[in-house]
């Protein structure tokens, strides 16, 4: 979802042009807007007065989410549900709806402005009920239209949660497909570029922090590339569920008012028409199992990226990667030489916040007392926080990867300094050839000892081997002992290409 328009000042914050614009594919190009009631000049929300950094310090990274998760965005999505339900209900009841009238009503949410949100807020101050405020706001619009005679059909047979669950599902789905997945796609592209470039660059692997069988830089980054693609693949096709079954999930009010109608079928058609999956067996709320699954997937992805951040931090610390310093940046307030891996550290912290929030959402939202309690409502108002911390982390991680490059000399020196890692190759080859206890003999030679390549060659020379076998062992060096690592890196690239193709296909169904 693209931000459009020239920046305008609103409440002390530079913002893009306000309002909504329906794209040709039916998606909304949502410009950001301020939320809540008016503030005085002294109380203006800014980068210095925002309570949370996602609305202040990190605003540039999170502003694309305001059109999905702000209070104003929630109002707009609720209005969309109320509008579409009203039009669908009239059609179901065989009421003729002029196309121009329908378009005019739909313009209410398609051309949503900050002033509309303020008007709804004023109504809510009287009603002390946020969904009822949307209902009255929409009734005023219907009352001025050609359908004024049917104004009492607005919100007919609905409970607030019918509106809320559909609005929240659309907010989550649109933010996922129009903001978060494209951002993940950018990170995948950056990782893939690094994998391709360094797929054959030898690197000493470390298990338990100790020198281990060599690998390549591209293969090790490819592990994270593959994991990220595999974990997030379900998100590419994810459709969240929705319900429309009244106060306790029985369609009681609609059935009593219009007993001859098939209301479950109507509800199914309406919900799926919004691009959601239909939940037929519910209480007052949609049980949120779909949202829980969604948040579990996000948490898993966050944990994969935390692992990547921590490994990159370690590689920088080991000197495997060099960081390109920015001329005007400061690494330490007292140590002028410092170039710190701050982007990986920032990404790690924000990913941990995202993982904590998504894990909490998944645990919380699947529990509701009897037919419903309201505790899920206040929790879902914080959904944007999880997305925001994820977005901050993705940008920071992308910056960090863009600043580093492998130090080929340091990698080569590290490999050359640990010839003992060839012991694995030696003992495996000799056992395959039928030798007795080569593992134990190499353990005695190498474990806990400083061993040189000459020491290993002398040991090989002491063996009764054919000339060909002896030469094969002697010619092996740590930098050549990488197995199929370059080919495995290519396999990771193939996984990424298939992931990107699925994303492109979803963005451009034609």
Contacts of 330 (CB under 8 A, 6+ apart): none
Which of 129, 148, 332, 375 is labelled catalytic? 332
Our CA angle for 31, 37, 42, nearest 5°, is 100
DSSP state of 31: P
Residue with structure tokens 């030898």?
A: 202
Instruction: Tell me the three state secondary structure of residue 27.
Output: coil
Instruction: Tell me the three state secondary structure of residue 209.
Output: coil
What is the C-alpha separation between 147 and 134, in angstroms, rounded? Answer: 18
Residue 131, exposed/middle/buried by CB under 10 A (0-12, 13-18, 19+)? buried
* Phi, psi at 376, each rounded to 5°: -70, -25
Contact predicate 1/67, CB 8 Å:
yes
Contact predicate 229/499, CB 8 Å:
yes
Contact predicate 160/172, CB 8 Å:
no
Residue 340 zone, left/alpha/beta (φ > 0; ψ -120 to 50; rest): beta
Contact predicate 3/32, CB 8 Å:
yes
Which of 9, 40, 99, 208 is labelled catalytic? 208
Q: Could you report how far apart the first and last alpha carbons of the chain are, in Å?
A: 18
Total Cβ atoms within 10 A of residue 65: 25
Instruction: Tell me the three state secondary structure of residue 4.
Output: coil
Total Cβ atoms within 10 A of residue 483: 13
Residue 277 zone, left/alpha/beta (φ > 0; ψ -120 to 50; rest): beta
Residue 298, exposed/middle/buried by CB under 10 A (0-12, 13-18, 19+)? buried
- Among this protein's residues, is 208 annotated catalytic? yes
Instruction: Tell me the three state secondary structure of residue 198.
Output: coil
User: Two tokens at 46?
Assistant: 């800014």
Beta bridge partners of 206: 211
Contact predicate 8/18, CB 8 Å:
yes
- Among this protein's residues, is 328 annotated catalytic? no
What is the C-alpha separation between 394 and 302, in angstroms, rounded? Answer: 10
Catalytic residue set: 208, 332
């Amino acid at each position: 979802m693209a931000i459009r328009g020239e920046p305008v000042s609103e409440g002390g914050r530079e913002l893009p042009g306000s309002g909504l614009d329906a794209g040709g594919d039916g998606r909304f190009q949502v410009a950001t807007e301020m939320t809540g009631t008016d503030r005085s000049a002294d109380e203006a929300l800014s980068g210095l007065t925002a309570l949370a950094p996602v609305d202040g310090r990190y605003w540039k990274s999170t502003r694309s989410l305001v059109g999905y998760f702000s209070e104003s965005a929630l109002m707009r999505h609720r209005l969309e549900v109320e509008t579409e339900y009203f039009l669908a209900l009239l059609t179901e009841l065989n009421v003729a709806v002029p196309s121009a009238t329908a378009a005019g009503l739909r313009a209410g949410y398609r051309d949503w402005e900050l002033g509309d949100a303020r008007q709804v807020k004023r109504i809510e101050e009287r009603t002390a009920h946020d969904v009822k405020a949307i209902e009255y706001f929409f009734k005023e619009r219907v009352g001025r239209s050609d359908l004024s005679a049917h104004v009492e059909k607005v919100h007919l047979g609905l409970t607030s949660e019918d509106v809320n669950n559909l609005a929240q599902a659309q907010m989550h789905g649109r933010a996922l497909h129009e903001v978060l997945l494209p951002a993940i796609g950018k990170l995948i592209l950056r990782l893939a570029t690094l994998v391709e470039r360094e797929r054959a660059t030898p690197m000493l692997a470390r298990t338990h922090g100790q020198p281990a069988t060599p690998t390549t830089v591209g293969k090790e980054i490819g592990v994270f590339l593959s994991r990220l693609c595999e974990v997030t693949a379900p998100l590419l096709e994810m459709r969240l569920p929705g319900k429309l079954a009244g106060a306790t999930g029985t369609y009681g009010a609609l059935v009593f008012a219009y007993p001859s109608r098939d209301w479950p079928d109507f509800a199914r058609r309406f919900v799926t028409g919004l691009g959601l999956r239909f939940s037929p067996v519910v209480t007052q709320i949609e049980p949120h199992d779909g949202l829980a699954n969604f948040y579990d997937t996000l948490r898993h992805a966050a944990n994969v990226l935390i692992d990547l951040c921590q490994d990159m931090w370690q590689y920088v610390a080991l000197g495997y990667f060099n960081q390109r310093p920015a001329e005007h940046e400061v690494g330490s307030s007292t140590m002028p030489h410092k170039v710190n891996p701050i982007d990986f550290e920032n990404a790690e912290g924000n990913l941990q916040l995202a993982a904590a929030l998504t894990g909490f959402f998944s645990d919380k939202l699947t529990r509701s007392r009897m037919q419903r309690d309201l505790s899920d409502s206040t929790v879902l108002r914080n959904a944007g926080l999880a997305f925001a911390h994820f977005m901050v982390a993705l940008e920071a991680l992308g910056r960090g990867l863009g600043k580093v490059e492998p130090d080929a000399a340091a990698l080569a020196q590290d490999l050359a300094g640990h010839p003992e890692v060839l012991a694995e190759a030696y003992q495996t080859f000799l056992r395959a050839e039928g030798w007795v206890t080569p593992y134990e003999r190499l353990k005695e030679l190498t474990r806990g000892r400083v061993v040189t390549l000459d020491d290993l060659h002398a040991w090989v020379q002491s063996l009764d081997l054919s000339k060909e076998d002896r030469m094969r062992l002697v010619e092996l060096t740590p930098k050549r002992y990488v197995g199929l690592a370059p080919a495995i890196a290519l396999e990771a690239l193939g996984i990424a290409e298939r992931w990107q193709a699925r994303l492109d296909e979803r963005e451009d169904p034609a």
